[in-house]
Amino acid sequence: MAARNESPFEQCSEDSNRQDGRIYTAAWNYSSHSSFQWYSFACSIVQVGSANGHIEKVIAYIVLLISFKLFLAIDLTYQSFRSIHQFLVHHPLNCIKVVCGYIGLKSAFLRDIERLEPFLDLPLLFFPFTTATFHFESDLKAPSQFNAERYMFSCVLAAEKFVRALDKKNASSSLSHNAPDAERISYNCVGGKTSSRPFSDFLWCMLQPRGNYAIRLVGFIVIKLLRVITTEVTVDLDALMRAVQAAHECDSKTDVSSDIDSQTYIILAPTHRSYLDFILISYIAFALPELGISIPNIAAADDFARVPFMGLLTKMAGAFFVKRGKGIIDPKLETKVQSLKKSKSDITTCIEVFLEGRRSRDRRFLEPKTGFLRCLAKTKGTHVIVPITINYEVIPEQSCLTEEADGRQRYELSIFRLVKWLKSAKSGQVNLGRIHVSVASPILMKDSPVLDVKQVASAIQTLQKKSIMVSDFHINACSSVLGINREVVHESLKELGVPIWSEVRNSVSYLTSISEQWSAFLHFGHVYSNYFEGSHPKWAEWMGRNHFTTVPINEMGANTEALLHALLKTFESADKAVITTVEFLQEKGYNNLSSSHVLQYIRKSGCELPSLLLQHAISSYLEICSVRNVNDTTIPIDTTIGSCEGNFKKFSSESYGAWGYKDSGLVLNINGDGKKQVTMKGNRYKISGRPMSKLVPFLEHATEIIVDPRRVVLPKASTITISRSEISKPVLDKLLEIVSPDLDRVTIADIERVRHGTGHSQEDMYMIRCDKLKDTRFPDAVIYPSDEKEVERLVNLASEECLCLIPFGGGTNVSHATWCPPKDKDPRPMISVDVRLMNKILEINEEDLTIHVQAGITGGDLVQELQSRGYTIGHEPDSIEFSTLGGWIATKASGMKQNKYGNIEQIVKSVRVVSSSGKLWQHINSQRATFSRVSTGTDLTSIMMGSEGSLGIITSATLKMWPIPEIKKYESVILHNFEDGLLFVKDISKLGALKPASVRLLDNIQFRLGQSMRSNNESWLKAMKQKLAMTTFSLLVDRFEPEEMVCVTITLEGSRSEIELQMREIRTLASTYGGVCAGNDVGKAGYDMTYAIAYIRDFAMTYGFLAESFETFVPWSKVRSMITATKNRLKREHQDRALPGNPIISCRVTQLYDDGVCVYFYFCMNFENVPNPSATFAEIELAARKEILTQGGSLSHHHGIGKHRAPLMGEVNSDDLREVFMNLKKAIDPHNVFGVANGSYSYKE
């Protein structure tokens, strides 16, 4: 068959032995669609040759660049090219041979040159094909599905095999000196400390034939990173090329013009142990273009999409994001796969997917997911699935994954964590040792009515398991955890035929954590699982069933037998620890045990086995023993009696059985990303409507208790079961007469009686939610007076009818102050007097800066009224939205801004009181004037401060007020630890007039709680700004430990000059103690969070947690010892009762004084499966209060005493002083109308 040459060919045929200048060949007819370019052929030779070590890739590409680009650009003739070739190639090599021969040198280099000589003239032979196009006439026509490019590549692969067969020694010498199992596997080193490039990595990335700029940038980063953190990264190149060739062979049978239903696609299915996995596989495709596959489109977890910069870069590099765990094929995923299959490319479409779905936390093989396989099948086509096993010595995030496997907090991917890890890597703190990518035989999957994707997934994982490689690192980990000689492990693996990495010294240091050692062993632990199928099937399942052939038990060697014996001994130790702990907890009264509860006390028993073993042993034992898991428990609510609806609507906006407003409150849901997300309902607060995805993880991490959003442990109250009101009809009629004609202001409705007979302590909320009310005494009626005259009539009626009146303000007390006295102590009918309708401003004196106001006004209303007039009283307790002026006086309250405005005793100038002795007030002849100070004996205001409703009803008060400050500013300071924080705030307390209005020191737990409540729904710009700030903070101030650092939030109010001076002092003091000013936003967020954070306690109760705060004043000299001793006491009390989970114990300093501080303690415990949990909590709180008193703290700073702390008043007041107070009460309230018995006026125990 003759060829027609469209350009002169004679020039290159002169050296030919052929006389007629014609080429004879077997070829397809030119009309066939079977052409290819010689440049593509040359590139394929370079790629395959370099991949297998025959030639240096970079040098070969330079030659191609010169031959096919440069020479063509200058339009060289064949004669010119031949002259250049002689000058640049033949002459230098001949000179080298002459010199070597003259001096008698026969080096390996010279032998290589002699071996290369036959190939030196190949460029001359190929040159005509680079400058002309040839068409052949033939009787042969290529089939329609024939693909010349793929045929050409198959020829290159065949030629490479032929060359390797001619010189096996040369091929083997190209292998890395660390080749694993070199007789079985040929592989290529693509990264790590042992890899090198002939020129800069950046230039190498830019010269790669495939990849956009994002991919090249990622490639450059990966090269640098792998060289720092790994010894070497290798890939089983032969197996991978065989898999790719199989895909090409399938594709060669397909018509290139056919639709996606008949096309072939390569699916790379690697194991998933690290976030590095998908980057690694993509990098291999990028670094080895000779494989002939496209850089894979990665089905990445949607976690990456939410990470600033990383998400964008990943998407630009070809990733698409998958939402896991839906149970059905995601339509968006199906659409994306369809678009990838339809994309036009000169090479086969390649997709990378992790069938395990999520990373294995302990290196065990997870059950494969089938959703993506179903999606592939549904979108048609032939799929060549390549099982890949990524063998790590050390996993990059091993410590985090181990903690997660142990049941601790799951760490989310974030740019902050990534930057921190990269910083550690750069400083040499990260060493992963070696990584080897093993490739198994591909699996062909076509859509078929009988296709079983579960079977396909199982087959893929079986091949992944067979492809594991075990190194000396893994062997040592196994030796350590099982307590056997490493040689036993090594020989056992040989007996079972498990591939072993050749030994490399100093590849990576050994692990010290037993959990991490177990994870390293479990890398290959599945090879032993079959031997436990008969005796311990649960443990066999846990290790990962081994579906490939193993050595029969009767044929296994002595080393394998020794290893199995040690492994069985470990399993039995775990089972024994579980049984012992379950029996211990059952003796403590816990019958419905949870896994986390059992695990907690196994740890405390001193068991050294890792949690990942113990968790399996616990779940197996609880299942076998049919011990019902606590997740199935609910607390019964009697729905047959009563209703949670009241008949008085004035204050119906408040919640019943929970803090705050009905339209507000924290709600837990699972968002679209599968995260547990908390949202504040309504729009009253700064955080309202903003999702918070870190709050529940914080709670879970701190307590080691998993929160299930789908199960409510303790629902909000739905029924009320209480005893009937015992008020007589005549008395009820007289009460109605007082408020006539507004008869709705007297009620005996159940919900009103319960609300007015309780406060907001955890006992109150718990018994309301559980409807454990029938044995509790509640007011027999509730009355709402609107002025002082109605109060007078009411008190007179109580004296006449022998009634007991209990004053009620906002009901925010946590001291049981509104509880009715026991019937055996006081059998009289109980009337709750709600003063919140007495909420009017009676007079404002703007010259004297005083305001006279009724005592029933709430703090929120008072603030609003004063702000509208340009004033403030500066008193802002945390309960300000609901608490009343009268309640502030009666409890001797304190506000967060007391540094500037004082406590309530400094703000109140005078009071008016109605008691059974009459109307009480002072300075009747002073024309309503108020005095800053008088010397007229004991004053009424001082007597009523802290009286807690036991002396009379406060009807009104005159208060000091201030103009609204010119400027309000916020600041925050981050310090290393709580001790530095104490020193810092102590120095602030000495600033005198420059002391900021509010200074709060949050310990580490409080600080992290506040951070967890930050919204994740902020603007992109603000989120990036915060991420950048945190990253910069991490890089520049790495001495701050996340588990120790504390925060001081500061509120400044005053003139501009005053605040400038204060800020200067704050910065100076912060610098003195190594602190960093974190700015206005953090400080303001802490201030804004004050009111919203109060909802957390009742939210936590819904999901099984009881929490409460209690405060004290303590002198500076005792603050450290008191805080430490109290926290330790709380921990001890919690542990002594074997309560589930870890307690959350924290504190904050909220008010500063010259001689000491107010300290708030916060205690939270899980109560699932705890008998009578509210009483247990109260016992622990009582123990903590006793400890506070022992350590020199006060019984209360501003919450008051009520009945809750009254039993401890004997340690506060002497018996004689108590008698003085009781006699004072008799004088002021001779008929004991106000027999509520709180604080100093309580019943003597």
Count of Cβ atoms closer than 10 Å to residue 347 Cβ: 20
Residue 129, class by beta-carbon neighbours within 10 Å (0-12 exposed, 13-18 middle, 19+ buried)?
Answer: middle
Contact between 1163 and 1145 (Cβ < 8 Å): yes
Comparison of pLDDT for 831 and 427, the residue scoring more = 831
- From the list 510, 506, 523, the residue with the least C-alpha distance to 194 is 506
CB environment 408-417: b (16+ within 10 A), e (fewer)? eeeeebbbbb
pLDDT recorded at residue 490: 92
- Confidence bin at 764 (pLDDT 50/70/90): very high
Lowest-confidence segment of 140-149, 162-171, 303-312, 736-745 by average pLDDT: 162-171
pLDDT recorded at residue 800: 96
DSSP 8-state symbol, 281? H
- The alpha carbon dihedral of 440, 446, 448, 454 has a sign of positive
pLDDT recorded at residue 1029: 57
- Confidence bin at 875 (pLDDT 50/70/90): very high
Scan for tokens 């018509």, then name that residue.
Answer: 255
Contact between 32 and 165 (Cβ < 8 Å): no
Strands 967-975 and 1046-1054: antiparallel
Is residue 1211 pLDDT above 80, yes or no? yes
- Confidence bin at 450 (pLDDT 50/70/90): confident
pLDDT recorded at residue 1094: 85
Lowest-confidence segment of 302-316, 329-343, 854-868, 963-977 by average pLDDT: 302-316
Comparison of pLDDT for 73 and 459, the residue scoring more = 459
Is residue 10 pLDDT above 50, yes or no? no
Alpha helices in 740-840 (DSSP H): 750-756, 762-770, 788-801
DSSP 8-state symbol, 1105? E
Q: What does the alpha-carbon distance between residue 650 and residue 638 come to, in Å, rounded to a whole number?
A: 28
- Cβ partners under 8 Å of residue 624, min gap 6: none
Is residue 679 pLDDT above 90, yes or no? yes
Lowest-confidence segment of 206-215, 243-252, 977-986, 1223-1232 by average pLDDT: 243-252
Contact between 127 and 12 (Cβ < 8 Å): yes
Residue 678, helix vs strand vs coil: strand
Q: What does the alpha-carbon distance between residue 721 and residue 641 come to, in Å, rounded to a whole number?
A: 6
At 371-412, the pLDDT tens digits run 888 888 888 888 889 999 999 998 888 777 777 766 665 666
- Cβ partners under 8 Å of residue 455, min gap 6: none
Lowest-confidence segment of 184-188, 205-209, 354-358, 1078-1082 by average pLDDT: 184-188
User: ∠ at Cα 876 (875, 881), nearest 5°?
Assistant: 125
pLDDT recorded at residue 1228: 96
- From the list 345, 355, 349, the residue with the least C-alpha distance to 336 is 349
- From the list 819, 817, 726, 831, the residue with the least C-alpha distance to 768 is 819
pLDDT recorded at residue 795: 97
Is residue 648 pLDDT above 60, yes or no? no
pLDDT recorded at residue 6: 40
Residue 1202 has φ and ψ, to the nearest 5°, of 55, -145
Is residue 197 pLDDT above 80, yes or no? no
pLDDT recorded at residue 637: 34
What percent of the chain lies above the pLDDT cut of 90?
A: 45
Phi-psi region at 657: left, alpha or beta (left = phi > 0; alpha = psi -120 to 50): left
pLDDT recorded at residue 306: 63
Q: Spell out the SS3 assignment of 33-99.
A: CCCCCHHHHHHHHHHHHHHCCCCCHHHHHHHHHHHHHHHHHCCCCHHHHHHHHHHHHHHHHHHHHHH
Residue 1145 has φ and ψ, to the nearest 5°, of -125, 120
Lowest-confidence segment of 10-14, 60-64, 770-774 by average pLDDT: 10-14
At 910-931, the pLDDT tens digits run 999 999 999 999 886 556 677 8
Q: What does the alpha-carbon distance between residue 1110 and residue 463 come to, in Å, rounded to a whole number?
A: 60
- From the list 975, 1022, 1025, 1028, the residue with the least C-alpha distance to 1001 is 975
pLDDT recorded at residue 569: 94
Is residue 251 pLDDT above 80, yes or no? no
Q: What does the alpha-carbon distance between residue 2 and residue 5 come to, in Å, rounded to a whole number?
A: 10
Residue 257, helix vs strand vs coil: coil
pLDDT recorded at residue 604: 86
- From the list 82, 49, 67, 192, the residue with the least C-alpha distance to 130 is 67
Scan for tokens 């060949």, then name that residue.
Answer: 25
Residue 1043, class by beta-carbon neighbours within 10 Å (0-12 exposed, 13-18 middle, 19+ buried)?
Answer: exposed
Residue 668, helix vs strand vs coil: strand
Neighbouring C-alpha atoms within 13 Å toward the C-beta of 588: 22
| Tokens, residue 409 | 């907090």
pLDDT recorded at residue 717: 84
pLDDT recorded at residue 650: 58
- Confidence bin at 623 (pLDDT 50/70/90): confident
Residue 433, helix vs strand vs coil: strand
611-624 vs 398-405: helix crossing angle, rounded to 10: 20
| Tokens, residue 562 | 């020794």
Lowest-confidence segment of 162-166, 1176-1180, 1224-1228 by average pLDDT: 162-166
- Confidence bin at 88 (pLDDT 50/70/90): confident
- pTM of the full structure: 0.74
Comparison of pLDDT for 576 and 593, the residue scoring more = 576
Average model confidence (pLDDT) for the chain?
83
Strands 781-783 and 830-834: parallel
Alpha carbon 441 to its chain's center: 38
What are the E-state strand segments in 1008-1077? 1046-1054, 1076-1077
Give mean pLDDT, residues 649-677. Answer: 84
pLDDT recorded at residue 1180: 97
1173-1190 vs 1119-1136: helix crossing angle, rounded to 10: 150
Is residue 862 pLDDT above 90, yes or no? yes
Provide the residue count of the chain.
1245
Residue 207, helix vs strand vs coil: helix
Is residue 1162 pLDDT above 70, yes or no? yes
Is residue 1224 pLDDT above 90, yes or no? yes
Give mean pLDDT, residues 1052-1079. Answer: 94
Q: What does the alpha-carbon distance between residue 996 and residue 1063 come to, in Å, rounded to a whole number?
A: 9
Give mean pLDDT, residues 304-308. Answer: 62
- Cβ partners under 8 Å of residue 742, min gap 6: 786
Give mean pLDDT, residues 226-251. Answer: 83
Comparison of pLDDT for 216 and 759, the residue scoring more = 759
Alpha carbon 646 to its chain's center: 42
CB environment 149-164: b (16+ within 10 A), e (fewer)? bbebbbebbeebeeeb
Residue 746, helix vs strand vs coil: strand
- From the list 635, 478, 637, the residue with the least C-alpha distance to 562 is 478
The reply to whether omega before 741 is within 30° of 0 (cis) is: yes
Q: What does the alpha-carbon distance between residue 288 and residue 282 come to, in Å, rounded to a whole number?
A: 10
Scan for tokens 């016992």, then name that residue.
Answer: 1179
pLDDT recorded at residue 347: 66
Is residue 887 pLDDT above 80, yes or no? yes
Q: Spell out the SS3 assignment of 370-420.
A: CHHHHHHHHCCCEEEEEEEEEEECCCCCHHHHHHHHCCCCCCCCCHHHHHH
Give mean pLDDT, residues 508-524. Answer: 83
Is residue 866 pLDDT above 90, yes or no? yes
- Cβ partners under 8 Å of residue 66, min gap 6: none
Q: What does the alpha-carbon distance between residue 1093 and residue 291 come to, in Å, rounded to a whole number?
A: 58
Is residue 13 pLDDT above 50, yes or no? no
Residues annotated as part of the active site: 1160
Comparison of pLDDT for 1188 and 157, the residue scoring more = 1188
Is residue 633 pLDDT above 60, yes or no? no
Is residue 179 pLDDT above 50, yes or no? no
